[in-house]
Amino acid sequence: MKTKIITLLLVAVFANSCVQIKNEAENFDHTFAHVVYFWFKNPESQSDRATFEASLTKFLNNSQYAKTKFIGKPPKAVRDVVDDSFTYSLILSFESAEDQAAYQTEPPHLVFIEECEDLWEKVIVYDSEGIAQ
């Protein structure tokens, strides 16, 4: 009986994870992608990382424009073509270039910049408009 209950719970957790992954994939809007790379002044500082992650998460939870909201850290590069020199990456998608422009001046984004701009020494942004498929 215990084995059946545990098995059912594991199946339920796995199914829920699959639904969450599918929902995130469906939220990716192919119209406009905004990819940001951050290089920290002190990349080994756990305090700086905690501050950044908390502020960025708060910002993304309150953004009315960003759809896909991915925060990443570089894995150890195993190929020469992979750049793992950054501290964090951010991938956002938007329904339009106008939404991306509006996001730049929305209060949660401005608060994030104010709270964290002293942490980074370099930021690079790559924006892309989707092509018709």
Place of tokens 């059912």: 8
Asked whether 29 and 67 are in contact (CB, 8 A), the reply is yes
pLDDT of residue 124: 97
Position 25 scores a pLDDT of 46
pLDDT score, position 76: 86
In angstroms, the CA 129 to CA 94 distance is 10
- Which letter does DSSP use for residue 77 in this model? P
31-128 to CATH, choices 3.40.640.10, 3.30.70.100, 3.20.20.70, 3.90.1150.10: 3.30.70.100
What pLDDT does residue 4 have? 42
Length of the chain: 133
Residue 6 confidence (pLDDT): 41
pLDDT for the residue numbered 26? 53
Quote the pLDDT of residue 31: 84
What pLDDT does 68 receive? 87
Listed by start position, the domains of the chain span 1-30, 31-128
Buried b (16+ CB within 10 A) or exposed e, 51-68: ebeebbeebbeebebbbb
Q: Tens place of pLDDT for every residue, the chain, 133 residues?
A: 544 444 333 334 444 433 444 444 456 667 899 999 999 999 999 999 999 999 999 999 999 999 889 999 998 878 888 888 999 999 999 998 999 999 999 999 999 999 999 999 999 999 998 886 6
Q: How far apart are CA 41 and CA 48, in angstroms?
A: 9
pLDDT on residue 1 = 54
| Residue appearing with tokens 């329904």 | 95
Quick one: tokens of 94? Answer: 């938007």
